[in-house]
Chains A and B, each alone.
Chain A
Amino acid sequence: MTSGTGPPRLVVEGLTVRAMGSGAAIIEDVSVEVAAGEVLGVVGESGSGKTTLGLAMVGHARRGLEIASGSVRLDGTGLSSLPADELRRLRGAAMTYIPQDPSSALNPALRVGGMLKEVLTAHGRTDAEAAARVQEVLAEVGLGSRPEILSVYPHQLSGGQQQRVAIAMAFACRPRLIVLDEPTTGLDVTTQRMVLETVARMCASYGVAAVYVSHDVVVVGELSNRVAVVYSGRVVETGATADVFGAPAHPYTQGLLRAVPSPERSGRLVGMEGVPPRPGQRPPGCGFAPRCPLVIERCTVAMPELVPTGRAGQLARCVLVETGQAHTEGTLAPAVDKDLTKAAAPATTPVLQVTGLGASYGSNQVLSGIDLTVPPNSCVAIVGESGSGKTTLARCIAGLHMNWTGDVRYAGQPLPPGIRRRPKEVLRGIQYVFQNPYASLNPRRTVGGLVAQPIQTFAEGRRVRDDSEILDALRAAALSVEVVNRYPDQLSGGERQRVAIARTLAVSPRLLICDEVTSALDVSVQAAVVELLRRLQHQRGLAMIFITHNIALIRSIAQQVLVMHNGQIVESGAVADVLDHPRAEYTRQLLDDVPKFSAAMTSSGDAQ
């Protein structure tokens, strides 16, 4: 059931990996196959076990985990039955791994040239052969023009260069199997595009069997021929990429695709409530049942089997598929009631007006010539890569960064640079949601305490006695009121971010600044949070600044957009205009580089 020719190179059958202490299964009964020259995408969110699966495919289990049952065969050789030094001979040569974060996966104490040579000499090449091969493979990844590259340490390279070194290391010994674990995490869009192209090109030319593990549905969609969707440790759907993403059969896959933002279509993102179960706490029956919108009685009784859906090669693990009740058409995006990108009526005093803002850190100028207008009841997105200055801009407006010049007016009145000099009404009116939900809540306060803090600060002396304001804020952020007595470390990332949002809503702000608030969240959670913010902005007539590096998101929440690069604005305007008809070269490049679902997939089931 592969798309390549000949017998599959990698065969995983009934693989189960358990934690040694508790016996909890991380992945369970996983069976996939990969042919030579084929790319299998493994898609899953946090807690799905996808990384563990990727490592198991090269015969590795992390400390505390063990392969409990099932088999992994590379060209017929079972990996778990091999003696240790046989396995070592295969690793790095016949089967290789490209890690998620090259900055921590490359030895900081060794020079790049030495690391690359070492992999070759450890697998039988002579020094001369190794040196020649290193040059060769570095050229293939696009690092061949700089001879100094051999003598630098990893930390001297950029993220993209480090990842290319990792790719070179993986391809050096001409492997038969490559497993890639989200190798573009943390890279900016352009670098990501370059890395993906390199990977695709080399996989094709080497004819390797490749497995691409990722949470990024769109990237997987671009790169892979076939895909396996993993949830709660099991494969819930698998098949050709065009089939699975074009006409998904499993409710989880459908939900995942509904949550994926796209720069090409405007629509409400639909997230999935709840969190995936942790290993050891998986319910009997289907793992997705607690969150499934289509759940029926039978789903909770026993784990469904992977059964064919009707399309060749596509299997899904769902009761509805078994009974032939699954709907696979038109599930990609809901009907859009109105174009979200239409701006609200202009000609009222903008909530925020920025003219000619410049900012510096010490003597370093990081922002210049920034103009920005935020009308009431609208959302302005600020898009840029890391280092573009977007967060600095947000901090200047919020008062956290004081070293700026320029004219900034809030509700018509000039805004002083720091927090100290701002009147209470202004402080109350401008609220901020931080990027990292794991760091923006004091671990020693309960949710109720955290939401109560700003309420108390702006309560003008009167002691806040009853909790109705707190509970109202929690409800507005779509949280169950039971969380009021919990501590942050008892909540998931999505819930924590909602607490951070509730905290700002509690004091009824006029301007809400959201700084990369979904970057640390899974796609489905991201969708829910973005949709929540959109609704709130609409219902309360908030002015909102939505900062992100993900240009695909803005169509689902904003009307205006500013594109920033190197501390300056390169383009601004209505979202539809900028995305459909970009004028600046940088914006065009950015839109080109962003991963998109191929035309074949978006054309099916997309109502616009």
Chain B
Amino acid sequence: MTAPAPAPAVPAPAAPRIRRREWLHILTRAARTPRGMVGLGLALVVVLIAVIGPFVVSYPPLAFVTVPGSPPSAKFPLGSDILGRAVVLDGGWQLLLMATGAMIIGVVLGTAAGIAAAQLRGWRDGLIMRTVDVILAFPQLVFALLLVSILGPARWLLVLAVGISHVPQVARVMRAAALDVSERDFVKAVEITGVRQSKVMSGEILPNLITPLMVETGLRLTYSIVIITGLSFIGFGLQPPAPNWGYMINENRIILTSNPWAVVAPAILIAILTVGLNLFTDAIARVALGIERAEKIIAEAAGTGIVSEIPA
């Protein structure tokens, strides 16, 4: 059957040919779901406190101002800590910065490794993944501890260590996704016209990897925060006297009975931050994958931060 008689009106040629900024659309859609709203809200509250906290107090936070371990009072709403300093909510922004740095390192290196392995195939694929898997043999916390054990807890080393410990998981997820996409017919349809591999990668494969990339970014950020605060907690993360929430929790355990707020306040902040981030990552996954698929995939990918590979 022939098409209807050609109409003179032709659609505007300036219409965009490629869906751009899909990641932004996913983020905004996720932020509008109930889960996303709560998660984003919680996380932003804590980030706000972390950033603004130091400027709000009317006295230098490190000054010794009162009896150690005194309960909350009008002057010091959260009481004082073990050293007699006022408990203030300072000590978050450095943690956040370090965690973000670790996340970026992990995601960038892991994605590069995963995609390279998927594209190169053959023995190079095996080599990259086996190399990366060596890191997988270490619990993330233990890996970081190992590196700082002799060299000391320098901030750059912490960020690097935690970042590197993320690489295997990110690489696995991105490799699996890249393999899946590159097998699809629409990629072959472009390859068959002789387009350069790099163009195939940038035009066809990468744009379709947005979803796993976003989910992994969210998960990695959350885990980075967990590990770095954990390290700070046992004293091998951010060092005093730089205030940090992880160390505060440990430091003030002894005075739990006299002023629990010195421990509870930073603990609650960390908890709210991680819960909020996780909720938002979940919302992103749901928006991009549909509710039922997202549940199973997140359950698998977030298992312990590792997805094991079973050979057929």
Contact = CB atoms under 8 A, between A and B. Distances in A.
B184 A475 contact: no
Interface in B166-199: 184-195
Nearest to B7: A481
A478 B3 contact: yes
A434 B11 contact: no
A326 B15 CA distance: 47
B102 to A, nearest CB: 30
A466 B14 CA distance: 10
A454 B185 contact: no
A436 B185 contact: yes
A480 B6 CA distance: 9
Contact of A400 (B4, B6, B188, B207): B188
Given A419-B194, A432-B189, A440-B186, A467 B10 contact: yes
Given A273-B1, A436-B185, A480-B4, A446 B192 contact: no
B186 A457 contact: no
Contacts of B4: 480
B139 interface: no
Contacts of A271: 1
A88 interface: no
B164 to A, nearest CB: 32
Q: Which of A442, A453, A454 has the largest count of B CB atoms less than 10 A from its CB?
A: A442
B2 interface: yes
Nearest to A445: B18
A442 B186 contact: yes
B75 interface: no
B10 A471 contact: yes
Interface string B239-250: 000000000000
A441 B1 contact: no
Interface residues of A, number: 45
Interface in B90-118: none
A467 B185 contact: no
Interface stretch (A205-213, A375-383, A482-490, A555-563): A482-490
A53 B76 CA distance: 72
Given A273-B1, A475-B6, A481-B11, A444 B207 contact: yes
Interface in B219-254: none
Contacts of A484: 11, 15
Given A452-B17, A484-B11, A485-B15, A528 B1 contact: yes
Given A444-B208, A445-B18, A467-B10, A480 B3 contact: yes
Given A434-B188, A434-B189, A444 B13 contact: no
Contacts of A453: 190, 193
A444 B194 contact: no
Contacts of A434: 185, 188-189
A562 B304 CA distance: 54
A24 to B, nearest CB: 20
B194 A424 contact: yes
A427 interface: yes
Nearest to A468: B10
A466 B12 CA distance: 10
A443 interface: yes
A442 B195 CA distance: 15
A222 B241 CA distance: 87
Interface string B2-43: 111011001101011111001000000000000000000000
Contacts of A400: 188, 191-192
A479 interface: yes
B133 interface: no
B204 interface: yes
A451 B237 CA distance: 55
Contacts of B187: 442
A503 interface: yes
Contacts of B22: 444
A273 B3 CA distance: 10
A123 to B, nearest CB: 32
A428 B15 CA distance: 26
Contacts of B10: 467, 471, 481
Contacts of A481: 6-7, 10-11
A439 interface: yes
B60 to A, nearest CB: 53
Contact of B3 (A399, A475, A487): A475
A398 B11 contact: no
B194 A457 contact: yes
Given A427-B194, A475-B3, A482 B189 contact: no
Contacts of B207: 444
A458 interface: yes
Contacts of B185: 434-436, 439-440
Nearest to A472: B6
A588 interface: no
Interface string A527-564: 01000000000000000000000000000000000000
A449 interface: yes
A467 B14 CA distance: 10
A448 interface: yes
Contacts of A471: 10
A89 interface: no
A311 interface: no
A419 B186 contact: no
B13 A467 contact: yes
A480 B192 CA distance: 27
Contact of B17 (A439, A445, A458, A528): A445
Nearest to A419: B194
B212 to A, nearest CB: 15
B11 A482 contact: yes
Contacts of B13: 466-467
B204 A442 contact: yes
A467 B15 CA distance: 11
11 contacts: A400-B191, A422-B194, A434-B188, A444-B22, A446-B17, A448-B15, A453-B193, A457-B193, A457-B194, A457-B195, A528-B1
The 9 A-B pairs at the shortest CB distance, nearest first, are namely A449-B17, A440-B185, A427-B194, A444-B19, A434-B185, A439-B185, A442-B186, A485-B15, A467-B13
Interface of B: 1-4, 6-7, 10-11, 13, 15-19, 22, 184-195, 204, 207-208
Given A400-B192, A454-B193, 15 more contacts: A273-B1, A420-B194, A424-B194, A434-B185, A434-B189, A436-B185, A441-B189, A442-B204, A442-B208, A443-B208, A445-B19, A448-B17, A475-B6, A500-B189, A503-B189
